[in-house]
Chains A and B, each alone.
Chain A
Amino acid sequence: MPRLLPYLLLLPATAFLCLFFLYPFVQVAHDSVMRNGVYTLENFSRMAGHWKFSTAFWNTMLLAAVVVPIQLAMALTMASIVTKLQRGRSSILYIFAIPLGISDLAAGLIWLSVFEQSGFLNSWLVGLGIVDQPILLLGYQNTWVIFIAIVLAEVWRATAIMMVILVAGMGLIPKEYGEAADVFGATRWQKFRRVTLPMLKPSLQTALILRVILAFEVFAVVVALGGTQLPVLMSETYHWQFAMQERGVAAAFAMVILGVSVAFTILILRLLHVPKGARV
């Protein structure tokens, strides 16, 4: 009995993950190469042949490429601040962590209140005399404004998750390393660059993987701010599944998102590889 106990305790979770995690992924892969009961690549060719596909693909990539570096820089700054604080640490940490609990849809709506035509940004611009009349910011004429709005909303919403992981990681770095650097006369920047960053690699790895995958999944923020004017992979997946009732093509989209996510996970694991013995 004692030898079986751990397996018994793991059984529900394992069964659950097999049924609702492994099986659906096999199924979605299967659906993507199946059409009218025959194995075919037609779903993929229909997906790639649609004029919106490459726009959606590159929008998603570009968003991730712009958002993630900004978030990394901000999360590192916020984490360094929190780590350094002596007074008010927990309240500032709570404030910084608030967006962690906010839905991407709500974040999109929050930034919609800033960017819509009668919104706060226009009120500012008119109030300062920069423009005479409120301008249509989120229109199809200037998709770059929609892009910027989405970037701001994403940076605002999802930096907190990286920050918390990095704060936790910084707490794990033994103080002695920083003290040793002080003894050798290192400046703050040198200490950050040569001590903190290398020691932080495992946390950076986790934070980046989590964040990059979430960036490829960007959906509600985009729909809330841009409607259908700025297609991304996830919104196209949703569109094919629902409006077009083409489950096979939706599954093909899912496979693309999946492929990109796995590729980047492997890339980040390689780039930030930490040898087992070098971990704190």
Chain B
Amino acid sequence: MSETSVRRAGNRVFIAGVALLILWVLLPIWLLFVNALSAPAEVTGFPKRFIPSFDLASLSFFFGFSGVIDALWNSVKVAALTMILSIGVGAPAGYALSRFDFPGKETFRFLVVMTRAFPLPLLALPLAVMFIRTGLDDTILGLALVHTTLALPFAVLITFSLFSGIPLELEEAAWTLGCNRVQAFTKVILPLAAPGIAASAVFAFVISWNEVFAAAVLTVENRTLTAFLLQSLDVSPLPLKFAGGAALVLPALFFIFAVRKYLFAMWGIANR
């Protein structure tokens, strides 16, 4: 074989490999949506078709099931609160890390990085007791606080890299033109950092939206969608499970699409 034919064969293997990997990622999601968009009788029937019948009975059964709408709404509320808390608490820290040198900086970074070496959902166990004592048990806020612990390290590191990417000179120019620190931040830095901050907020939302263990431990009456689905796993019929799974997956697809440009900024800096 000549060298070009070897290369061409290699290219074909490469393309086939890429196609196979794409299929590996997308096919399972397709199968879930086939189930969610088929009638309950088809979901439990056999054999399965690989194209949905676009019957909305499974979905309407799911949304009509008692507790589902509440659970969905709780999930949204917890995730939104997590988003606000983690950016509100994390962004100032990220800004401080990027702009100042001060004793204790390394200790703080160590604390943030250390959170990654611990299985955080386990925090829910002792916090359950603390929340009962403070009246935060089974509340949206209580769960959001735990989810914020999961999302905060990312928020700090992401905003740190965002602010580090904005030259200090811009801020200094604003100061010389008569802005004080706060004005310079809100008029110059914030507009530049806003898209990235929004992306990390979305990321915090997704972390909370997807979390299962802490949600299942900390909520009883006010269950989130993941807790609801988990706790009804052994009793709920298949159409309910698959429609629920689809309801969990669909927003995540949009969110990841929305933040795709920032995925690297988020995980790349997680290296340091």
Q: A9-B95, A126-B47 are in contact. Are A101 and B32 (CB under 8 A)?
A: no
Which listed residue, B28, B44, B248, touches A105 by the CB 8 Å rule? Answer: B248
Q: A16-B152, A20-B146 are in contact. Are A10 and B25 (CB under 8 A)?
A: no
| Chain B residues within 8 Å of chain A by Cβ, number | 91
Q: A213-B117, A247-B125 are in contact. Are A102 and B25 (CB under 8 A)?
A: no
- The total number of A-B Cβ pairs within 8 Å is 273
Interface check B24, CB cutoff 8 A = yes
Closest residue to A240 on the B side, CB-wise? B125
Interface check A169, CB cutoff 8 A = yes
Q: How far is the CB of B242 from chain A (nearest CB, A)?
A: 6
Q: A20-B127, A126-B47 are in contact. Are A10 and B117 (CB under 8 A)?
A: no
Contact between chains at A81 and B126 (CB < 8 Å): no
Contact between chains at B271 and A203 (CB < 8 Å): yes
Interface check A196, CB cutoff 8 A = no
Contact between chains at B213 and A220 (CB < 8 Å): yes
Contacts of A41 in B (CB 8 A): none
Closest residue to A12 on the B side, CB-wise? B89
Bound state CA distance, A21 and B126, in angstroms? 11
Interface string of B35-66 (1 = CB under 8 A from A): 10000000111111010000000000000000
Interface string of A33-73 (1 = CB under 8 A from B): 00000000000000000000000000000000000000000
Interface check A254, CB cutoff 8 A = yes
Interface residues of A in 94-149 (CB under 8 A from B): 94-106, 109-114, 116-120, 122-123, 126-127, 134
Bound state CA distance, A122 and B204, in angstroms? 38
Contacts of A111 in B (CB 8 A): 28
Contact between chains at A81 and B21 (CB < 8 Å): yes
Bound state CA distance, A257 and B128, in angstroms? 18
Bound state CA distance, A6 and B17, in angstroms? 50
Interface check B166, CB cutoff 8 A = no
Contact between chains at A223 and B230 (CB < 8 Å): yes
Q: Mind listing 18 A-B residue pairs with CB under 8 Å?
A: A10-B104, A13-B89, A28-B125, A81-B18, A92-B18, A96-B22, A101-B210, A103-B226, A109-B229, A109-B241, A109-B244, A110-B28, A120-B31, A156-B25, A219-B213, A242-B217, A257-B119, A262-B118
Told that A5-B100, A105-B226 touch, could you supply 6 new A-B pairs with CB distance under 8 A? A10-B96, A16-B148, A111-B28, A169-B271, A202-B271, A238-B216
